[in-house]
Amino acid sequence: MIQCSGLTWRNIKRIGLFDSGVGGLSVLRSLVSRLDYSGEKEFVYIGDTLRCPYGNRPDRQITSYVKQLTSWLLQHNIDAIIMACNTSTAAGKEQLVSYAPVPVLDLIDPTAALIAQRGIKKVGVLATAATARKKAFSNIIKSIDTSIQVTEIGCPLLVPVVEAGLGDAHEAQEALKPYVKELIDQEVEAIVYGCTHYPFLDAALKNVLAGMGNYPALIIDPADCLATSISGKSTGALSVQPDAYLSTKFATTGDAETFGRVASRCLKQNVGQVQSVSLNELTAAFVLRRLQKPAMSAPLQLIAPEAVG
Ligand code: DGL
């Protein structure tokens, strides 16, 4: 079971999650569904839809956006942060760990651990271009077991399909086909959703695999791997209570109405009101933290008058 620097999951009350858009909702869904937290946890979710996708951006830019989102989340009294965006983890998890004064969890570590534990030897990872460029999954999987073969590919078409609310449409299958074929050509045993948007393409992926001679791949959702490692329980079918998201605060930098519509479709539940957060507010949250930080970590030294001159 995951322990966050002396703080157990049980003691964490408010959890902040961020993503470039609606993708991180797949992480929220897994946590809400897998953990019997009986309503004592609260989640704050922000999707940076205005600047989505992150997957085509350079690391430095992604990391600076992530610090802004984190600063905003920290204004909401969160006890822990979940990087519900693997592109951000690939771009600079360590930088976020040293920036945030609360525990930071990601999805790649528990996924790699599960793959090694299950004895899977040939893995395919569908990811964003940025995650694949960094070989973010490959490096961590191989750091546990060098004999595991990983094919990690960038799939730039998939995030726009999910953000457009077309996850269940025919276009999703068309977009997936070439990527899945590349993995099947490598005879992978398992396919990992290396981007948090992709679990919303689950039905489409299963149809594509069925159309490719019922290719028998195990599908791995890293959000489930995280939920399993937190709860210490293995997972079954997703089961979300009708009022599961009542105590979740949703926010977006994009259009709140569109985000609410796409999020409700992804979660198959009405998410209610969505707060609109401007980029100016994000910048202000970041600047305020920078102004507060030196005062907290290194108090100003007053020099006694006699010591001067
Ligand atoms: N959902 C994110 C991830 O897990 C980011 C996708 C994007 O904005 O490109 O990588």
Question: Mean pLDDT across the stretch 159-171?
Answer: 95
Q: Which structural domain range is residue 194 located in?
A: 108-226
* d(CA 299, ligand 1 centre) in Å: 38
Reduce the DSSP state of residue 150 to 3 states and report it.
Answer: strand
Residues 119 and 200 grouped into a single domain: yes
State both tokens at 209: 């695999």
Q: Give the number of the atom of ligand 1 that is nearest the alpha carbon of residue 129.
A: 9
Length of the chain: 309
Q: Is residue 149 part of a domain?
A: yes
The pLDDT tens digits for 186-217 are: 999 999 999 999 999 999 999 999 999 999 99
State the Cα angle at 84 between 253 and 206, rounded to 5°: 110
Query: 83 forms bridges with which residues in the sheet?
Result: 18
How far, in Å, is the centroid of ligand 1 from the Cα of 297?
33
pLDDT category of residue 231 using cuts at 50, 70 and 90: confident
Q: What is the structure's pLDDT at 28?
A: 95
What pLDDT, on a 0 to 100 scale, did the predictor assign at position 79? 94
* Same-domain check for residues 35 and 137: no
Determine whether 225 is an active site residue.
no
Cis bond leading into 53, ω under 30°?
Answer: yes
Strand partners, 149: 122
- Regarding whether 199 and 182 lie in a shared domain, the answer is yes
pLDDT exceeds cutoff 70 at 298:
no
Atom of ligand 1 at shortest range from CA of 127: 10
* Number of domains into which the chain is organized: 2
Asked if residue 94 and residue 24 are part of one domain, the reply reads yes
- 177 and 69 within one domain: no
Q: What is the mean pLDDT of residues 241-255?
A: 90
Q: What is the pLDDT of residue 1?
A: 42
Distance 300 CA to ligand 1 centre (A): 40
Say if CB 87 and CB 130 are below 8 A apart: yes
Supply the pTM of this predicted model.
0.91
pLDDT at 307 over 50: no
Ligand 1 probe mutation, 26, 28, 86, most atoms within 8 A of CB:
86
Examine the pLDDT at 153 and tell me if it is beyond 90. Answer: yes
Same domain, 122 and 166: yes
- Strands (E) across 12-164 are located at 14-19, 42-47, 80-83, 104-105, 122-127, 149-154
Mean pLDDT of 140-149: 97
- Do both 26 and 120 map to the same domain? no
Q: Report pLDDT for 39.
A: 64
Same domain? 242 vs 260: yes
Residue 52 falls in the annotated catalytic set: no
pLDDT of residue 38: 55
Convert 192-248 into a string of H (helix), E (strand) and C (coil): EECCCCHHHHHHHHHHHHHHCCCCCCEEECHHHHHHHHHHCCCCCCCCCCCCCCCCC
Quick one: which of 254, 265, 245 has its CA closest to 47?
254
In a domain, 242, yes or no: yes
For residue 267, being part of any structural domain is answered with yes
Residues 197 and 247 in one domain: no
Compare 41 and 199 and report the one with higher pLDDT: 199
129 Cα–ligand 1 center, Å: 9
> Could you tell me if residue 20 is inside a domain?
yes
Same domain, 122 and 195: yes
Q: Are residues 237 and 221 in the same domain?
A: no
Question: Edge-to-edge strand order for the sheet containing 14-19?
Answer: 104-105, 80-83, 14-19, 42-47, 249-252, 274-276
Q: Check if 269 has its Cβ closer than 6 Å to any atom of ligand 1.
A: no
Q: What is the pLDDT of residues 99-110, one digit of tens each?
A: 999 999 999 999
- Choosing from 185, 210, 226, the residue where a domain stops is 226
pLDDT of residue 247: 87
User: 173 lies in a domain?
Assistant: yes
Q: What is the pLDDT of residue 294?
A: 53
Tell me: pLDDT of 78 over 60. Answer: yes
Q: What CATH number does the domain containing 175 carry? A: 3.40.50.1860
Confidence band, pLDDT 50/70/90 cuts, at residue 293: low
Identify the pLDDT of residue 41: 86
Domain termination site, one of 176, 191, 226: 226
Evaluate if residue 296 carries a pLDDT over 50: no
> Which is nearest to 224 in space by CA: 308, 306, 111?
111
* Final residue in a domain of this structure, among 210, 226, 242: 226
Name residues whose C-beta falls within 8 Å of residue 203's C-beta, 6 or more positions apart in sequence: 167, 168
Q: Which atom of ligand 1 is nearest to the CA of 88?
A: 10
